[in-house]
Amino acid sequence: MIVNCKETLVLPSTTQWNGMVSRLDIVAEKLDSLHKGVNTRLDTTTTRLDTMTTRLDNITTGFDSMEAKLNTVNTQLKTIISQLTETNARLAGVGQRLANSDIKFEAL
């Protein structure tokens, strides 16, 4: 089947083409400017995130250091408690021996 098309294709004039190209150039410049702005903001955001990451790493290191120191203090406190418990037991033994002895104490 053959179809005859008798419609006329109307192309824009040179002035119209130039106007469209000019508008497209303006749009391209605006897009380029937006792209550069977005890249700048992304770079700034990345820098800030890197700074925050460094700070968080420093805080984590500080907490790790504090944890190690607290573990040391905890160990020392356990040792002191053990020594005090032992001393208390000895004093209780001495007190019991004194109570069972003939030695009498008078208040001054």
Give CA–CA dist 103/5, Å, rounded: 136
36-64 residue pLDDT tens: 999 999 999 999 999 999 999 999 999 99
Run of H or E including 58: helix 14-100
Give CA–CA dist 46/51, Å, rounded: 9
Q: How sure is the predictor about 2, in pLDDT bands with cuts at 50, 70 and 90?
A: low
Instruction: Classify 92 as helix, strand or coil.
Output: helix
pLDDT at 106: 75
